[in-house]
A = this chain, B = another copy of it.
């Protein structure tokens, strides 16, 4: 069993000064209290720590051994506490965060690089994946927070995810798109809702909930059975598939902006407002965010607004 730690603290000061009165001063205690502490520590360890000479203490071998253990700890502790303190006023340290694969692979590294120019003492650990794996990680304290989209049916209000809170952060416009050549060959001037019954699709899930939601929103079609020629849980793969003329797919607009601009990818539109995928920041509900977290989340928000301003 571990001894009383405060007695070790008292011992540390007494050993350094070889003086009860001196240690008492440093500890803001009375010599009496310090004397009692040392006596009880000697009792507990059943070994004398100091030989009492007139007006002087001499350390014993046990004492030397004990101090050798305490010395590096105290040094490390003072340092560590200072770092913890400084992390309250300025961002620093390791930030552990999670993000959807596409978001984490593309925009986040760029934001991180920019952020580190202002705060070089911040390091990142980024975990890519689904909310279904990221949220439990947040819940267990393995991640400080996670970006997550709740589009594809993930829900915060399940039993397992109790205790989490989310805040909308960035909004990505979801568009239905295909390659220019696919558009020319299969869509063209055809009647818009009709063509979907003949077209091929790339989806994220065999049941294609995102695609169905898009159809319902834009054309109020709910009972369509889209011809899904590829389903894959990867935005990048869907984009590549679109580029290779496999068919129509739902993608975040900001990931294909250049291709849209140069016309190699075509966006299918209806008159209605586009579907927005909200990416939210998820963290523990009761958690007091650190300055590092607040600062980086703010940075991401600002960056995103600046960039989506350029590509509306």
Contact = CB atoms under 8 A, between A and B. Distances in A.
A84 B65 contact: yes
A59 interface: yes
B9 A47 contact: no
A121 interface: no
Contact of A73 (B48, B66, B68, B73): B73
A284 interface: yes
Contacts of A139: 53, 58
Contact of A45 (B58, B84, B140): B84
A88 B2 contact: no
Given A61-B94, A69-B80, A94-B61, A4 B3 contact: no
Contacts of A77: 2, 8, 69
A57 B260 CA distance: 48
Contact of A48 (B51, B54, B288): B288
Nearest to A292: B61
Interface string A1-22: 0111110110000000000000
Interface residues of A, number: 52
A230 B110 CA distance: 85
B4 A163 contact: no
Nearest to A74: B2
B84 A51 contact: no
Nearest to A62: B84
A223 interface: no
A65 B140 CA distance: 17
Contacts of A83: 65
Interface of A: 2-6, 8-9, 45-48, 51-54, 58-62, 65-66, 68-69, 72-74, 76-78, 80-81, 83-85, 87-88, 93-94, 96, 139-141, 144, 162-163, 284, 286-288, 290, 292
14 contacts: A3-B81, A6-B6, A45-B81, A45-B85, A47-B87, A48-B287, A54-B162, A54-B163, A58-B139, A58-B140, A60-B141, A61-B290, A65-B93, A69-B77
